């Protein structure tokens, strides 16, 4: 993999090293989930400082080409999952379309009192009972994101007894309770992962993530679900198809 860096160029060494590693990844010589040499090994191989190596790896991670796992090292990232205007479907279905095996690890499953925000978004009384489901979502065993769903308990009393390790929440809502999602509004934002989120997603503390807040409604416009989620920025990207407005 090693190739000499040209110190006579005006191009910074970290940028040259980044280009060399990118070439290895794009050519398939470094494949998804391959572990890169340690920072010390890269510094020794290319004759650069640890600061240069760390800047190179940080930029590759920010661009989604590698992922840095605390205590384990740096790995070539899987291709990102594109997320943009699409059908309202479950995580399980989205992963299935991409040839990935979806699974979940239940982090919390309980009945709680609705906060002011939850009550407002679900159009219920503050303090009303809601079913809360917090899950770590995985694709082929790799953590992709953390989702916390809130659903008014009166709509689906039995949810608290369901096994959500593999079951799709939307499938259960439709088949057992006759609740069919028709439309949703989802707002995305960039965030720095909290320590617990980074640990669950196998990323370094303070890594970047994509946060989303979604309100899902039935065909008659009634909201039945509020979801807060955070996804790995190295595995997701938002893709928008835009059209030119008239007169521009």
Single residue among 21, 54, 76 that ends a domain in this structure: 76
Lowest mean pLDDT among 89-93, 119-123, 195-199: 89-93
Is position 7 within any domain? no
- Asked whether residue 152 falls in the same domain as residue 184, the answer is yes
Task: Report the domain count for the chain.
Answer: 2
Given this model, what pLDDT does residue 67 score?
86
Given this model, what pLDDT does residue 197 score?
93
Give the span between the Cα atoms of 161 and 63, in whole angstroms: 41
Residue 156: partners with Cβ closer than 8 Å, 6 or more residues away: 131, 172, 173, 176, 177, 179
Is position 6 within any domain? no
Categorize the per-residue pLDDT at 107 as very low, low, confident or very high, splitting at 50, 70 and 90: very high
- Asked whether residue 196 falls in the same domain as residue 116, the answer is yes
Lowest mean pLDDT among 165-174, 222-231, 233-242: 233-242
Is position 132 within any domain? yes
pLDDT of residue 245 exceeding 60, the answer is: no
Give the span between the Cα atoms of 25 and 75, in whole angstroms: 11
Share of the chain above pLDDT 70, in %: 83
Is position 103 within any domain? yes
Identify the CATH number of the domain in which residue 26 sits: 1.10.10.10
pTM of the predicted protein model: 0.62
Is position 5 within any domain? no
- Asked whether residue 145 falls in the same domain as residue 230, the answer is yes
Residue 3: partners with Cβ closer than 8 Å, 6 or more residues away: 20
- Asked whether residue 138 falls in the same domain as residue 153, the answer is yes
Single residue among 76, 91, 107 that ends a domain in this structure: 76
Q: 179-223: per-residue pLDDT in tens?
A: 988 888 888 888 999 999 999 998 887 888 889 999 999 888 899
Identify the CATH number of the domain in which residue 164 sits: 3.40.1410.10
Cβ neighbour number for residue 188 with a 10 Å cutoff: 15
Residue 26: partners with Cβ closer than 8 Å, 6 or more residues away: none
Q: How high is the mean pLDDT of the chain?
A: 83
- Asked whether residue 72 falls in the same domain as residue 104, the answer is no
Please give the biggest Cα pair distance in the chain: 71
Given this model, what pLDDT does residue 70 score?
79
Domain that holds residue 42: 13-76
The helix (H) or strand (E) run that includes residue 23 is: helix 13-26
């Amino acid at each position: 993999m090693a190739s000499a860096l040209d110190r006579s160029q005006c191009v910074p060494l970290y940028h040259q090293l980044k280009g060399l590693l990118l070439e290895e990844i794009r050519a398939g010589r470094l494949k998804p989930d391959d572990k890169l040499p340690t920072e010390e090994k890269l510094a020794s191989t290319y004759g650069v400082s640890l600061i240069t190596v760390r800047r190179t790896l940080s930029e590759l991670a920010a661009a989604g080409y590698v992922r840095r796992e605390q205590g384990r090292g740096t790995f070539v990232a899987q291709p990102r999952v594109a997320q943009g205007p699409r059908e309202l479907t479950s995580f399980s279905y989205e992963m299935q379309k991409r040839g990935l095996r979806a699974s979940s690890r239940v982090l919390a499953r309980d009945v709680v009192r609705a906060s002011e925000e939850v009550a407002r978004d679900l159009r219920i009384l503050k303090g009303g009972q809601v079913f809360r489901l917090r899950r770590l979502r995985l694709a082929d065993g790799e953590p992709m994101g953390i989702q916390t769903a809130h659903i008014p308990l009166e709509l689906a009393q039995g949810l608290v007894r369901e096994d959500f390790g593999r079951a799709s929440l939307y499938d259960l809502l439709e088949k057992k309770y006759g609740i069919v999602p028709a439309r949703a509004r989802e707002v995305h934002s960039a965030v720095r992962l909290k320590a617990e989120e980074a640990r669950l997603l196998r990323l370094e503390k303070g890594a970047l993530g994509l946060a989303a807040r979604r309100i899902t409604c039935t065909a008659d416009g009634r909201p039945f679900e509020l979801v807060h989620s955070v996804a790995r920025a190295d595995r997701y990207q938002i893709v928008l198809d835009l059209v030119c407005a008239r007169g521009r």
